[in-house]
Amino acid sequence: IVPLPARTSRPTVAEAGAWADVLVRRRLLHAAVPVPTGQWLIQNEANGPVYVLAGPADIVDLAAAVQLRIRSTRPDTQ
């Protein structure tokens, strides 16, 4: 796997929103909601606790961590 180049800018609210939408649509999160302070409220399952993420970068980091976990648990298909 070729590593991606480092980001040159901070994730935007729009980018975080897109990733949050993907995580919820794929049922990897139950909910992800931005709040006016710039923070995000996320919930893993319907009756689970609500977690507070500091901002868009945390949503993007969460999406990256989920992708890594999915890829590392998937059997090799080569």
Tell me how far apart the alpha carbons of residues 72 and 41 are, in angstroms, rounded to a whole number: 26
Tell me how far apart the alpha carbons of residues 14 and 11 are, in angstroms, rounded to a whole number: 8
C-alpha dist (Å) from residue 68 to 5, 38, 63: 16, 25, 9
The mean of the pLDDT values for the chain is: 91
Give mean pLDDT, residues 15-39: 97
Tell me how far apart the alpha carbons of residues 61 and 52 are, in angstroms, rounded to a whole number: 14
- Provide the whole-model pTM: 0.82
Q: How do residues 56-72 score in pLDDT, each as one tens digit? A: 999 999 999 999 988 88
